[in-house]
Structure 1
Amino acid sequence: MKALRKLLDNIKPHVSKGGRFEMLHSTYDAFETLLFVPNKTNQNGVHVRDAMDMKRNMIVVVMALVPALLFGIWNTGYQHFLALGQEVTFLETILHGVFKVIPIVIVSYLTGLAIEFAFAQMRGHEVNEGFLVSGMLIPLILPVDIPLWMVAVATAFAVIIGKEVFGGTGMNIWNPALLARAFLFFAYPAQMSGDLVWISGLSTMEGVDATTGATALAAAVEGNIGSFPLWNSFLGIIPGSIGETSTLAILIGAVILIFTGVASWKIMVSVFLGGYFMGLVFNLIGINSLMQVDAIHHLTLGGFAFGAVFMATDPVTGSRTETGKWIYGFLIGLFAIMIRVFNPAYPEGMMLAILLMNTFAPLIDHFVVDANIKRRLKRAVVKA
C-alpha cells in the first residue's frame, strides 16, 4: 500500500491545478479517494467524523450484492444444463455462469463509468460515486441472455437521462438501474419477456421444450405455481433475472445493509408488509390463479425481494422522513402485488411500483413534515 500511495503522490502534481494533465484531476481524484480515505480535515468548528464517506457506503452496498451475484452465476449454469437435461460438475456449472454473467457486469461498468468520468471532466467536478452501485444493480436485474449492446445502451440511458440531466448523483428522481430495465422492457420487449430469455442459450437451442424456461411468475399466471414450491423459490433454484431469484441470498445482503446502517430497515420491512397484506387480500378474493398464490409465496417470486432490499431503499429516490419510510415502503409492496395480479401480461410489478413511488416520495415527505409542524404548533398554542 505504501508503494501505491507513493505512486499516487508522484502523479498528483501533474494532475493538480497548473499541472501538465490538469484536465484529468477528476479522474485522479476518483481513483485516489476510492483507494484511500481522504486526508482533508475541516479546521472550522466541531464536526462528527467517521470512516464512512459516500464511496465507502457505496462499496458496502456492492458487498451486500455479492451473495446475489454469486448465486446468480451458479443458477445461470444450473438452469442452462437443467434445460438440456445434462448432468455436469459444480465447476462446469460455475464456469458457464461466469462466462455468461461477468461480461454483462463488465459492459455495465465500462459504459457507465466512461460516461460518469466524461461528465465529471466536462464540468470540472469530482466523479460521482453512485454508479459503483448502479453498475452492479443493472446486470442483476436483467435476463442472462440479454445482448451486450443492449446492456450498454440501457446503461447509457440510465446514466445520462436518469442521472446527469438532473445534476448527477444525489439529484436524480428515479432509481437509475430501474430506468435501465424499464427502457429495455419497453424498447426491446422480445429480449425482456417470455420464458426463453431467462435461461442462457435456450432461445437458440433446438429441440428443447419451451416450458423448460418458464419462470415461476409465468407458471403462477397459468395456475401451475405448484411446479415451483415455496422452498425452491426462496432458495432461488428457478429461472429469472440474474440476481433476483434467491430470496435467501438477498436477505443475506439485507443483513449486511442493516448491520452497517447503510440502508433503512423500515423501508425493507414495510415493503414486505405491504406485499403480504395485499397478498392476503387477494387470497380472500381468489378469482384468478395469481390471487390464489399464497401471500408468503408472492414475496419470493420475481424481483419483489430484490426490489425491497436494494431498490426501494435507495436514499436518493426514497422517502427521507421516518414516518414517510413506512408509508413509502408499504405502498411499494402493495402496488407491486396489485400490478402483478391485475395485469397478468406483466406479472413483474416491482419495477413499476418502485418508479411510481419514487415519483411520490417527496410528496409523502412533504405531508409528513407538514403534519408534524401542525402538531407542534398545536401543542405550542395549548401550552400558551
Structure 2
Amino acid sequence: MKALKKVIQNLDPKFEKGGKWEKMYPLYETLSTFLFTPKHVTEQGSHIRDGVDLKRTMFMVVIAMVPALLFGIYNTGHWHYELQSYLNPEQYGAYSDYLTGFGDKVLYGVLQVLPIIIVSYGVGLAIEFVFGFVRGHGLHEGFLVSGMLIPLIMPADVPLWMVGVATAFAVVIGKEVFGGTGMNIVNIALTARAFLFFAYPTAMSGDKVWKSGTSDVIAQNGGVLPDGASGATALGDMASFVGDSPMVAGEALSASMSSADLLQKFEGAYDPLHAIIGMIPGSVGETSVIAILLGAGLLLYTGVASWRIILSFFAGGFAFALLMNLIGANAYMDMPAYYHLIIGGFAFGAVFMATDPVTASQTQYGKLWYGFLGGGLAILIRVLNPAYPEGVMLAILFMNIMAPLIDHYVVQANITRRKKRFKTA
C-alpha cells in the first residue's frame, strides 16, 4: 500500500490546478481519497483528529447492511420457488421447505437483486460525477450508502428502468439541488421509494409485486394467481381487515368474523418467529429483523448510528400500537403491539433510515423526540389510513422535515433554562 500511495502522491501535480490533467481532478480526487485518507486535514488548532473520514464512515454503514442484503437475496429466491410450487408441485413442491434447494434459491436471488444494485449505483454515481465535474469537486460520499439502501427497500421484481428513474430523481431533486451530501433535507433512498410509490403505485404495492416471478405465474395460469398463492405482504393482509373482504395469505375471510378470529387466522399465516427471521414476503432487505439488528449492533458499536433514535423509534411505535389496542375499533387496531415492530419496514426504517445523520435531529433530546414521534407516526399511518399500510416511509420523510424545528425548540428550551439559572444566581 505504501508503494501505491507513493505513486498517487507523484501524480498529484498533474491533476492539481495548472497541471496537465487539471480537468480530471474530481475523478482523481475521488479515487485517491477512497483508498487513502484525504491530504486536506487540520494540522493545528483545537480539532479532533481521526483516521476515519466520511467515506469510511459510509462504508461502515454499507457493511452493516450486508446481513440484510444476503438474507434478502435468499428470501427472494425462496418465495420465487414457493410460488412455482403451486404450478409445478411435482418439480418444486419440496422447495416450499426453507432449506430445500438452498443453492437454487440463492442463485436466483443474486440474479434478481444484483441488477437492481448495479442500476442504483450506476445511475447515482454517474449523476454524482457529472455534478462533481461541473462544480469541481470529487464524488460525494453519501451515495455509497444511498446506492445500497435503494435496492434494499424495493420489491425484487421492480423494473430496472424504474429503479434508474427513481434514483436519478432522488439524487438530483432530493440532494444535488440542495448542494450535495450533507445539504439534503430528506433521506435520499426514501425519496426514491416515495417517487415510485406515487408515480408507479402498481409496481410498489398490491399482491403481485412481492414475490418474484408472480407475473409469469399469472400468465401460465390463465391470467390469475393459483388458489392460495397470494403475493400480498403481512401488512397488506392486515390492511384488508378494515375492508369488506378480509384476506389472509390469499384466503378470503368473512367480513363478519370477530377480531379474535381474524387475528388467529393472521397469526397462523404469519408466525411471529417467521416474521423475526424474515421468512415473509416484502422488500428485498426489510423482512429479517435478525439481520437488521446485526447491522444495528455494528453501527452502535462503531458509534455511527444513534442509539437514542433507534431505541425511541421502537418505543414510539410500541406505545402508539398499545394506544391502538386500547381503542380497538377493528382487528387491525387489536393487532398485538409487538407485531407492528417485526413486520414491514419498521425495523429497517428505525436502524438505517431514521438514523441518517444529515436528515435526523442533531440535539440529544431532539433525537429522542424525533425517534419517538417517527415510530408513533408510522403506526398511526398504518392503522388509521390502510391505503398506505407501510407508514414508515411517510413517517420518516415527515420527521426529516420536522427535525430542524425539533432541534430549534430543544435549543430554545435550553437557553430558557440557562436564563432562569442566571437570574437565580
TM-score by length of 1: 0.97
Secondary structure of the equivalent of 1:213? Answer: coil
Partner in structure 2 of residue 290 of structure 1: 332
- Structure 1 residue 2, shift from structure 2 partner: 4.2
- Structure 1 residue 345, shift from structure 2 partner: 1.9
Partner in structure 1 of residue 216 of structure 2: 204
Partner in structure 1 of residue 259 of structure 2: none
Partner in structure 1 of residue 50 of structure 2: 50
Letter in 2 for 1:188: Y
Secondary structure of the equivalent of 1:290? Answer: helix
Q: Given that residues 120 and 163 in structure 2 are in contact (C-alpha distance below 8 angstroms), is that contact kept between their aligned partners in structure 1?
A: yes
Letter in 1 for 2:162: M
- 1:283-317 CA-to-partner distances (Å, cap 9, x unmatched) read 12222222121110100111111000000000110
Partner in structure 1 of residue 255 of structure 2: none
Deviates most, 23-32 or 153-162: 23-32
- State the aligned residue count: 383
Matched, 1:357 2:399: yes
How big is the alpha-carbon RMSD for the aligned residues of Structure 1 and Structure 2?
Answer: 1.4
Partner in structure 2 of residue 12 of structure 1: 12
Give the Cα–Cα distance (whole angstroms) in 2 for the partners of residues 341 and 58 of structure 1: 34
- Equivalent residue runs for 1:292-307 within 5 Å: 292-307=334-349
- 1:184-240 CA-to-partner distances (Å, cap 9, x unmatched) read 001011111111111111122232427431211112223442210111111110000
- Of 144, 153, 162 in structure 1, the residue corresponding to residue 156 of structure 2 is 144
Secondary structure of the equivalent of 1:212? Answer: coil
Partner in structure 2 of residue 273 of structure 1: 315
Letter in 2 for 1:45: G
- 1:99-153 CA-to-partner distances (Å, cap 9, x unmatched) read 0001100100010011111101101123210000000000100101011111010
Q: Given that residues 83 and 229 in structure 2 are in contact (C-alpha distance below 8 angstroms), is that contact kept between their aligned partners in structure 1?
A: no
Deviates most, 303-312 or 277-286: 277-286
Matched, 1:221 2:263: no
Give the Cα–Cα distance (whole angstroms) in 2 for the partners of residues 42 and 248 of structure 1: 40
Matched, 1:377 2:397: no
Percent identity reads 58
Letter in 2 for 1:314: D
- Of 183, 187, 191 in structure 1, the residue corresponding to residue 199 of structure 2 is 187
Letter in 2 for 1:213: G
Q: Which runs of 5+ in 2 are unaligned?
A: 86-91, 242-247, 249-265
Partner in structure 1 of residue 290 of structure 2: 248
- 1:264-286 CA-to-partner distances (Å, cap 9, x unmatched) read 00000000000000111111222
Partner in structure 2 of residue 59 of structure 1: 59
Secondary structure of the equivalent of 2:333? Answer: coil
- Equivalent residue runs for 1:31-180 within 5 Å: 31-85=31-85, 86=92, 87=95, 89-180=101-192
Partner in structure 1 of residue 276 of structure 2: 234
Deviates most, 50-59 or 208-217: 208-217
Q: Which runs of 5+ in 1 are unaligned?
A: none
Letter in 2 for 1:230: P
Q: Given that residues 140 and 244 in structure 1 are in contact (C-alpha distance below 8 angstroms), is that contact kept between their aligned partners in structure 2?
A: yes
Distance 1:124 1:39, change over 3 A: closer
